[in-house]
Amino acid sequence: MLVDNAIVALENIFRHREMGKSRGEAAYQGVVEVWGALLASTLTTVAIFLPIVFVEDEAGQLFRDIAIAVSSSVVLSLVVAISVIPSMANKMLRVARADGAGKGEEDILAGSDIGLGGRFRRLISDGVYSISGSTFRRIAVVVLLIGGSALVMGFLLPKGEYLPTGNRNLVFSILLPPPGYNLDELIQLGQGIEDNLRPRWEAQPGSPEAEAIQGPLIKNVFYVARGRSAFLGARAQDPSRARELIPIIQGPLFAVPGMIAIVIQSGLFQRGGRAIDIEITGPDLGRLVSLGGQVFGQVRQLIPGVQARPIPSLDIGNPEVRVIPDRVKAAQLGLSASEIGVAVNALMDGALIDGYQYEGEEIDLTLRGMEDWFRTQDIGNLLIHTPRGRLVPLSSVADIVVTTGPEQINHIERSRAITISATPPEGLALETALEQIQEQIVQPLIDSGQVSPPYNITLAGTADDLRQTQEAMKWNFLLALAITYLLMASLFESFLYPLVIMLSVPPALAGGLVGLATVNLFTLQALDILTMLGFVILIGVVVNNAILIVHQTLNNIRDGEPDDKIAIREAVSSRVRPIFMSVITSVFGMLPLILFPGAGSELYRGLGSVVIGGLIVSTLFTLFLVPTFLSLALDIVSHFRNKRIRIADAA
């Protein structure tokens, strides 16, 4: 894409040189002739990428650098095309065609059609001329190509993903054991997992033991048990096979009855991966736990292969000691409920009271009691200082209740919350899973009245990020089209010719979807936001070809060609070669993104497939669609011009 300006300028200089012109004359006239088209192409490309700079969040971080780099490069390529290219051409294009002297442009073009490329060029230009000779054929071609593009887009448009996960060499697992597990049992569980995976990290690559093991070897593994949960991580010896560790790790984890295990490959851009968070908020914790359990079961039944977990646990049977202040007795002693809470916290676990900086690090100052308390029945004997300097037992100002409760209580905007985090399987698009959960779980709960104020249920996490990014991309896409149209309207001094050029966009979008579908025949490639960027790039590229045809047609008309159809035919004939040269260089430049494996190739495979597919399809369509619609536009312009002349003559 960045060499398109140089290709167009050099090809046009070469074409003038083939006509028998001197080196200086060919260099000058060749650049002057396409200068307007190159300027329009550059400005439209910059205009398309400009709104991307203002996209926020992770998508903005990914896109902003690309947008700035492409815009700067295209502007510099324009400078090179109008300065360096003609200067070098003036020195290097030393030999003119022997049969070029004294011949007109039309004769030279006819004489150069003896080759395969020339016959192909004449075939296209004659086909365009034939179509332009009939109003019915012109309308039929426009309707057929635009309608076909719309059908392809409607049929092939896939559901969206958020950020690509990449192929990071780290498989991470969150383990939520059944209720009743203590730390010793979690340690025992980890030892069992280690014994199961041990052969995979003890075997040396290339050894007979390694050859006998099915699946990838493990480079290192870690297991951490904390509270009532555990974390497991592993890295593969071969970084490209890290994803294959997921079912291997799932085996021993799913063998534990009642175990909830989330095993995912860690993403390059986000911690939560592809998780959809179903947030249930409300005042009563028991009601929230009941709704959370219902949603948890529905999600696992609705989406086969989903990995779901509650945040926090749905278990409310953990031992709990509640200190309930007696406000009357506490007030008589000058104590408030918050002061009782701080005192209990300091005596039992230690209360954070301040901090200070030491060698650049924050050091916490914690106030702790001098005695250790290990028995719950002794908590009532804790001695509390009153403002009057007396020591009273905790039981004299509060009721001590031994009961059960949750391990932790989460809050969202000051409301108690239970979150069900669901990670759909790799083959299911995130947008599809989001729609299924919204339509078959969330909406029925709201419609049936099971979730009503003060309770609420919403979808958040990656799902929320996806919605925000899609909304931003949609409006930025429309804004880019509007800016491009208005910019070309000012350059061409017409609102009709830019409409002709913009007609090349639908076939390009359809071709991009065809390219993406073709890649999906061989590997899984989602429509993530990096792939969406390919459609933005595609617009900036395909309109350039249409600009070349429209600009050259207007040049031919201004140079005295009385017949609009001949002007269009000669414009197509003279611009087929640079169009195909730029398309071929762009396609071959993008092919390594699709064909060659390696680190990071999975990130830009979708982008490459969209650009290549869109370029190939739009080029074939543009060569017939744009000239056909341009001939209709010129007829409209001619009709209104003649009408104005008749009115002026009558006046």
pTM for this predicted structure? 0.78
CA torsion sign, 29 to 30 to 33 to 39?
Answer: negative
Please name the fold of domain 171-310+412-465: Alpha-Beta Plaits (3.30.70)
- The token pair at 163 is 């950020």
- The token pair at 185 is 């049992």
- The token pair at 651 is 């006046």
Whole-number Å distance between alpha carbons of 548 and 35 = 10
- The token pair at 646 is 């008749």
The CB density around residue 134, as the number of other CB atoms within 10 Å, is 11
Q: What are phi and psi of 606, to 5 degrees?
A: -65, -45
Output the pLDDT for position 96. 46
Of 598, 619, 577, the residue nearest 10 (C-alpha): 577
Strand ranges (E), 193-315? 218-226, 229-236, 260-265, 276-282, 307-311
Domain residue extents for the chain: 171-310+412-465, 318-405
DSSP structure class, residue 322: E
Low-confidence ranges of the chain (pLDDT < 70): 1-2, 56-60, 93-115, 117, 269-273, 317, 371-374, 597-600, 643, 649, 651
Instruction: Give whole-number Cα distances, 368 to 423, 547, 582, in Å.
Output: 42, 77, 74
DSSP structure class, residue 178: P
Instruction: Give whole-number Cα distances, 588 to 3, 96, 594, 612, in Å.
Output: 13, 30, 10, 9
Output the pLDDT for position 597. 67
Q: How do residues 34-86 score in pLDDT, each as one tens digit?
A: 888 888 888 888 887 777 777 766 666 777 777 888 888 888 988 988 888 88
Output the pLDDT for position 111. 39
Output the pLDDT for position 109. 36
Whole-number Å distance between alpha carbons of 225 and 186 = 6
Which H or E element spans position 445?
helix 443-447
Half-sphere exposure of 426 (CA within 13 A, CB side): 15
Which H or E element spans position 584?
helix 564-595
Output the pLDDT for position 598. 62
SS3 for 333? Answer: coil
Output the pLDDT for position 57. 65
Output the pLDDT for position 104. 41
- The token pair at 109 is 């073009």
DSSP structure class, residue 160: B
SS3 for 284? Answer: coil
Output the pLDDT for position 439. 93
Q: Could you say which architecture CATH assigns to the domain 318-405?
A: 2-Layer Sandwich (3.30)
Whole-number Å distance between alpha carbons of 622 and 510 = 13
